[in-house]
Amino acid sequence: MGEFLALLSPQAALERWLNALPDLEPETEELLTLEALGRVTMEPIRAPEPMPFFPRSTVDGYAVRAADTFGASDSLPAYLAVVGEVEMGQAPEFALQPGQAALIYTGGMLPEGADAVVMLEHTQMTMPGEIEVLRSVGVGENVLKIGEDVQVGEEVIPAGVRLRPPEIGGLMGLGITKLRVAKKPRVGILSSGDEVIPPEQPLRPAQVRDINSYSLSALVELEGGLPQRYGIVPDREEVLREVLRRALDENDLVIISAGSSISTRDLTARIIDEMGLPGVLVHGINIRPGKPTILAVCNGKPLLGLSGNPVSALVVAQFFLPPVLGRLLGLRVKRPRARLPARLTLNLPSQAGREDYVPVRLIESAEGLLAEPIFYKSNLIFSLVRADGLLRIPADATGLASGAEVEVWLL
């Protein structure tokens, strides 16, 4: 197969890839809520009870009837009889009558008859059992009402949401200790190259240790997948064919990190085409780094072919892996990727018609964040280790000038 005959933009390539995937419902499993961080919900979750479950104070102060404080001020205080104290974790056993108040703490349950809370600093004790109220309050002031956060039966989390710490806390607050989530997609990861050796082996001249299997595994885990490494495949057709077939049979998605030579990339693309229809959809993307990227679908399973260069492989994977894993997980609510505005510290040249992604270091200054480019070569992984994020130079630009306002995608 000839290489780079029709280069697509990254977005067009991604759309072609996703459009070729079948619509499949993810497999599901039941998990303890405590273990579900980062997992994707498979069914809507409804509140079995209201939250808050009872009317409660948001401040330390006195529970009152708001009408009894009308017009109260420093010069004309309202005088109320203190008839009790609300114990934390206990329902009050008394009710407020007109002209009465009760000492209450943040989170305490309002006694019957109370409809507001006066902050402690807006009162003063005149004698035992009596306070002056120095400021009026309205109905509901400093109070959380029953169901103010969530009504009983309300859908609190829809299907297709990745669970974050707030969702975990909210579910536990409602007493929902188990839920059904999507199973993690299995992702087979292959590294190829006669020069690549496992990390635990000592280096010899002309050899490099495997980086891509491990950086890609970490990214897969971060995005909700279950990585399964297939080791280092030598640059031999029959071996690559056998391992790739096994990986496709055993996984929902396969990633190949291939060698850098044109002959190796062509071999990889040709063997991918043998694995099932429609085969290779994209071979070559108008992006730097990552031009030789391969996107394929083989009998309904997505396959991503990456350059063997570690920076190139990881930058491209950052763009293509999250959307396809989200599709396999049934992710419907997509939150924007974290990004920060910054000011460029140097001129950055670029080639018109090609998207460039440049690692940058973020520096705090009196004027705000500065983005300092890290000049790199695509096989030097520590250029990404030293970076805080990636700066995108759009395809219609010929570069960016020093001092330009830019957006940095956080790594």
Q: Is the pLDDT of residue 335 over 90?
A: no
3-class DSSP assignment, residue 17: helix
**Average model confidence (pLDDT) across the chain:** 93
Q: Are 159 and 329 in contact (CB under 8 A)?
A: no
3-class DSSP assignment, residue 12: helix
Closest alpha carbon to 18 in 394, 254, 328? 328
- For the chain, list the domains and their CATH numbers: 10-27+184-329 (3.40.980.10), 28-48+154-182 (3.90.105.10), 56-144 (2.170.190.11), 339-410 (2.40.340.10)
Cis peptide before 278 (omega within 30 of 0): yes
Q: Is the pLDDT of residue 54 over 80?
A: yes
Separation of alpha carbons 373 and 406, rounded Å: 12
pLDDT at position 2: 45
Interval 228-247: pLDDT, tens: 999 999 888 999 999 999 99
The angle at the Cα of 376, spanning 355 to 313, to the nearest 5 degrees, equals 60
Q: Cα 164 to the chain's mean position, in Å?
A: 8
Model pTM score:
0.86
**Residue 21 neighbours by CB under 8 Å, 6+ apart:** 297, 300, 302, 324, 327
Q: Is the pLDDT of residue 362 over 90?
A: yes
Separation of alpha carbons 331 and 67, rounded Å: 50
Q: Are strands 405-410 and 389-393 parallel, antiparallel or unpaired?
A: antiparallel
Q: Is the pLDDT of residue 377 over 60?
A: yes
pLDDT at position 217: 98
Separation of alpha carbons 310 and 210, rounded Å: 9
3-class DSSP assignment, residue 270: helix
Query: What's the whole-number mean pLDDT along residues 280-286?
Result: 93
Q: What token pair was written down for 20?
A: 């070729």
Separation of alpha carbons 257 and 293, rounded Å: 10
The letter for the amino acid at 33 is T
CB atoms within 10 A of CB 353: 12
Interval 193-233: pLDDT, tens: 888 999 999 999 998 899 999 999 999 999 999 999 999 99
